[in-house]
Amino acid sequence: IIIFIGKMFEKLIHLSGLGLLNKFFGFIVAGGKVFLIFSIIIYASSSIKLIKENTKKFFNDSIMYPILLEAGSYIVKIDTQDFVKNQAHQLEDSAREKVIENLKNETIKRLKDTNISNLQQENRNSGM
């Protein structure tokens, strides 16, 4: 569906004479994707001690390395911390609901069993 919508926008832009603008924004989006991928790769590789020590001399004067490292760190931290917290809360809520439901069902079953045995006992006593 997204590809179809993209193709429709591409045709509309082509018909309107904005093909150059389409190529420019395509370049920006593709560059952004590459930036994000390289950010994650740089962050992951810089957290490995052996790689970090061997590449330190190459990245000392780099302009992009600190930017990529910071962006990668931000991306990785967002995914893990928020996701884990949300999953933990959902599991906790789900477990609590299941325990309450099981207790409720067990209590109802015990009450029914108690009432049935009491009625049977009364019937035996009244029949004597």
**Region 8-26 average pLDDT:** 77
Q: Are 73 and 43 in contact (CB under 8 A)?
A: yes
Summarised one tens digit per residue, pLDDT across range 78-125 is 655 666 778 788 888 888 999 999 999 998 888 888 877 776 777 677
Reported pTM: 0.48
Q: What pLDDT, on the 0 to 100 scale, is given for residue 60? A: 83
74 or 125, higher pLDDT: 74
pLDDT at 80: 59
Cα dihedral sign, 92-97-100-106: negative
Alpha helices in 1-63 (DSSP H): 2-16, 19-46, 49-59
How many independent structural domains does the chain possess? 1
Range of the domain at 8: 1-126
